């Protein structure tokens, strides 16, 4: 599957914790990457400065859906489900806690 023109959902919806040129602390979820050009293409595509996580995210029918809006929703949902702040561990799994606590 090829990337949809002018989509960039994967460069907007997920958070990226690794440094990106122009974003040394990574980027928060929902914030467009500074490396997107006017056509919503990655300026770092194929370059060694591109974070590995970006290269690992490949277009897929489940992720991309049939529109940019579906891709943004799916990736936003995935971000919510995997973000430690919005999906905290149950109390019995917290460090220093025993199941009987």
Residue numbers of the chain with a pLDDT score lower than 70: 84-101
Smallest Cα–Cα separation from 74: which of 27, 12, 31? 12
How confident is the model at residue 97, as a pLDDT?
Answer: 44
Q: Cβ(101)–Cβ(92) under 8 Å?
A: yes
First and final CA of the chain: distance in angstroms?
Answer: 50
Distance CA 63, CA 79 (A): 12
Q: Is the pTM of this model over 0.85?
A: no
Predicted local distance difference test score (pLDDT) of residue 85 = 62
User: What span, in angstroms and rounded, lies between the C-alpha atoms of 61 and 72?
Assistant: 13
Residues 9-23 have pLDDT tens digits of 999 999 999 999 999
- At residue 91, the pLDDT reads 45
């Amino acid at each position: 599957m090829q990337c949809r023109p002018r989509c960039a959902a994967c460069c907007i919806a997920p958070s990226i914790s690794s440094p990106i040129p122009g974003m040394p602390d990574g980027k928060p979820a929902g914030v467009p990457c500074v490396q997107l050009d006017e056509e919503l293409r990655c300026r770092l595509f194929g370059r060694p400065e591109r974070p590995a996580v970006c290269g690992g995210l490949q277009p897929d029918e489940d992720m991309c859906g049939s529109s940019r809006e579906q891709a943004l929703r799916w990736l936003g949902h995935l971000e919510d489900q995997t973000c430690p702040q919005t999906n905290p561990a149950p109390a019995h799994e917290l460090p220093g806690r025993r199941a009987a606590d």
